Amino acid sequence: MGMFGNILGAVLGNMGQQGGAAGAIASVAGSLLANDGDHGGLGGLVGKFEQAGLGNVVSSWIGGGQNLPISAEQLQSILGSDAVAGIAAKLGINPADAMGQLSTMLPGLVDKLTPNGAAPAGGLGNMGDLAGMLGGLLAKK
């Protein structure tokens, strides 16, 4: 996960994260988006947003144009208390802070991983695939 975190930090301009914290939050974000992650990949995340009535928010991240924001509270309700507790434990911070960091990072990350304005039919791939995609984006900068 270290390589993924390093690449993510470079692609997203580190988004205010410092040192190992960027890698840790990147690992969590990767587990949300990767097909081999804990949350059903990008398709699973889109489904959760749609069920919560926030499909337009995640669609804005995938499509072209302005990314709509998501609050920490909205993200917490989408992911559920058990998932949020697990994420917070993995990061070693309280759930509100974890969701605050993730809600800041996730829109830009999804946007960067879907540069063609559409989610790939097979999802974004596993963690290794995501690191490769982000590495390719970094090479284009």
What the chain holds in terms of domains, given with CATH numbers, is: 2-140 (1.10.10.690)
Query: What is the predicted pLDDT for the residue at 23?
Result: 64
What are the backbone dihedrals phi and psi of residue 39, each rounded to the nearest 5 degrees, phi first?
-125, 15
Count other C-beta atoms under 10 Å from residue 42's C-beta.
26
Residues 82 and 15 sit within 8 Å (Cβ to Cβ) = no
Question: Amino acid identity of 117?
Answer: G
Between residues 3 and 104, the one the model is more confident about: 104
pLDDT digits (tens, 9 = 90+) for 11-35: 555 444 444 566 677 778 878 888 8
Specify the pTM.
0.77
Left if phi > 0, otherwise alpha if psi is -120 to 50, otherwise beta: which for 77? alpha
pLDDT digits (tens, 9 = 90+) for 73-121: 999 999 999 999 999 998 899 999 999 999 998 998 888 888 888 887 7
Alpha helices in 12-126 (DSSP H): 20-33, 41-51, 55-62, 72-79, 81-91, 95-113
Query: What is the predicted pLDDT for the residue at 136?
Result: 61
